[in-house]
Amino acid sequence: MRAMAGARGTREVAAGGGRLRRAVADTGTRAVADTRTRAVADTRTRAVETAPKRLAATKSAFADWREPAQAGFVAGWPQRRGFNRPRPRHTANRPPMPRPPSPHFTSPPPSQRHVGRIPARHGQALVEFALVLPLFLALLFGLIELALIYSATALYDTAAHQGARTAALDATRLGNADAQTEALIRRIVQPLFVAQITQIIIYQSDATGAGPTGGAEDVYDGAGNALTSPSWPVASRVSTVAAPVYLGVRITYRYTWLTSFIGATGATLTLNATAIMPLAPEGG
C-alpha cells in the first residue's frame, strides 16, 4: 500500500510540473503577441498624426523652389526656335536643364545666333552635286555612244560582206548585179538610224585585198545613184580558175551623234566597211 501511494504521488507531481510549464509558455506567447500588436498600433497612430505635417512641409519646400526658378531662370532663357513648344504636363513647371559645356565647341551668345540659317553642309552637298553631275552624264552618254558605234560597225561590216558575196555570185548571171548589191546593203542597214550611207564603191581588187585605186570601179551614193561613169561594167567581170578576179565592196557611212552636247561641237564621224570576194569562175 505504501508503494502504491508513493507511485501515485510521483505521477501527480510530474503532471503538475507539466501543467506549470504549459501555463508559463502560454503566458509568454500571449505577452509577446500583445506587445507586437501594441507596437504596430502605436506606429500607425504616429504615422497618421504626422502625415499632414510632412505633406505641408513638402508643399512649402516645392513652392520655395518653383517661384525663384520661374521668376529668374526661365525668364532669362534664350527664346530660340523650339524652346517655346508646350511641354508635357509633368514637366510644365520645371525649367529646362542646361547642357554641359563641350570642350570642342562653344555656343555663341544669343545675340550672335542666326535663327533659320541653313547649315553649311547643305551648301557643300549642292556644290559637290554640281561638280559630279556633268562628269556622271558625260560618262553615261559616252558609254551609250560607244555602244551605238560598235553596233553600227558590226552591222555595216555584215552588209559589206553580204553585198560583196551577192555581187560576186551574180556578176556572170545578172546584168544589174550592182543594183541588187546596193538594194541588199540598204535593206540590211535600214534599222540603224544613227548611221547613214554616203557612198558605195564596187571595185576590182586582188588577192591581197587592195582598195579602190580609181581605175576599175563603180561609185554610187546612198540612194543608189551613180556618181561617176561606170568604169568596171558587169559584163567585163570575167574570172577563171587560172586567172581569178576579186571584187571588193566599200561602204562609207557617217555616224550621227546621239547626244546634243557632242553634236553641237560640229564634229562628225565617218567610217568605212570593206569586204573582198572572189568572182565565181566561168564554167565552175
Give tens-digit pLDDT for 142-183. Answer: 898 899 999 999 999 999 999 999 888 876 566 678 888 999
Residue 59 lies in a domain: yes
The residue out of 76, 92, 115 marking a domain boundary is: 76
Q: Are residues 155 and 270 in the same domain?
A: yes
| Sheet-wide strand order for 269-278 | 217-220, 195-205, 246-255, 269-278
Grid coordinates of 251: 561602204
Q: Tell me, what's the pLDDT at 73?
A: 47
For the chain, where are the E strands, in sequence order? Answer: 195-205, 217-220, 246-255, 269-278
Q: What is the mean pLDDT of residues 48-64?
A: 76
**Are residues 169 and 255 both part of a single domain?**
yes
Angle at 203 between CA 200 and CA 205, to 5 degrees: 135
Name the residue with higher pLDDT: 135 or 280.
135
For residue 126, is pLDDT > 70?
Answer: yes
3-state SS class at 147: helix
Cell of 147: 555602244
Question: What pLDDT score was predicted for residue 150?
Answer: 93
- Domain of residue 70 covers 1-76
pLDDT at residue number 113: 56
Do 148 and 272 lie in one domain? The reply is yes
> Which residues share a beta bridge with 269?
255
Q: What are phi and psi of 248, to 5 degrees?
A: -120, 145
In DSSP notation, 152-206 reads HHHHHHHHHHHHHHHHHHHTTT-TTHHHHHHHHHHHHHTT-TTEEEEEEEEEEE-
**Cβ–Cβ under 8 Å, residues 137 and 258:** no
Question: Of all helices (H) and strands (E), which one includes residue 127?
Answer: helix 120-170
Give the residue, 257 or 82, on which the prediction is more confident.
257
Distance from C-alpha of 217 to C-alpha of 204, rounded to nearest angstrom: 6
Mean pLDDT of 214-233: 85
Kindly report, residue by residue over 94-115, the tens digit of the pLDDT.
666 666 655 555 565 655 555 5
- Please state the rounded mean pLDDT for residues 110-130: 68
Identify the domain boundary among 58, 76, 94.
76
Is the same domain home to 52 and 155?
no
Per-residue pLDDT at 76: 47
In a domain, 53, yes or no: yes
Is 71 inside any structural domain?
yes
Cβ 167 vs Cβ 202: under 8 Å: yes
The pLDDT confidence band at residue 187, using thresholds 50, 70 and 90, is: very high
What are 250's strand-pairing partners?
201, 274
Q: Is residue 31 part of a domain?
A: yes
d(C-alpha 9, C-alpha 15), whole Å: 10
177 or 71, which is more confident?
Answer: 177
What's the number of domains the chain is made of?
Answer: 2
pLDDT, the chain, mean = 76
pLDDT at position 197, please?
93
Report which of residues 105 and 208 the model is more confident about.
Answer: 208
Query: Does 92 have pLDDT greater than 60?
Result: no
pTM of the model as a whole = 0.53
Residue 283 within a domain: no
Burial annotation 14-52 (CB, 10 A radius, 16+ → b, else e)? eeeeeeeeeeeeeeeeeeeeeeeeeeeeeeeeeeeeeee
41 occurs within a structural domain? yes
On whether both 155 and 273 belong to a single domain, the answer is yes
- Grid cell for residue 108: 555663341
Whether residue 271 is contained in a domain is answered as yes
CA distance 108 to 124: 22
User: Cα Rg for the chain, rounded, in angstroms?
Assistant: 57
**pLDDT of amino acid 124:** 84
Mention every residue, 6+ apart, whose C-beta is less than 8 A from residue 274. 160, 211, 248, 249, 250, 251
Confidence of residue 273 (pLDDT cuts 50, 70, 90): very high
Residue 119 has pLDDT above 60, yes or no: no
- Do both 273 and 176 map to the same domain? yes
Using the 3D structure, point to which of 76, 91, 120 is the last residue of a domain: 76
Residues 162 and 271 in one domain: yes
Asked if residue 16 belongs to a domain, the reply is yes
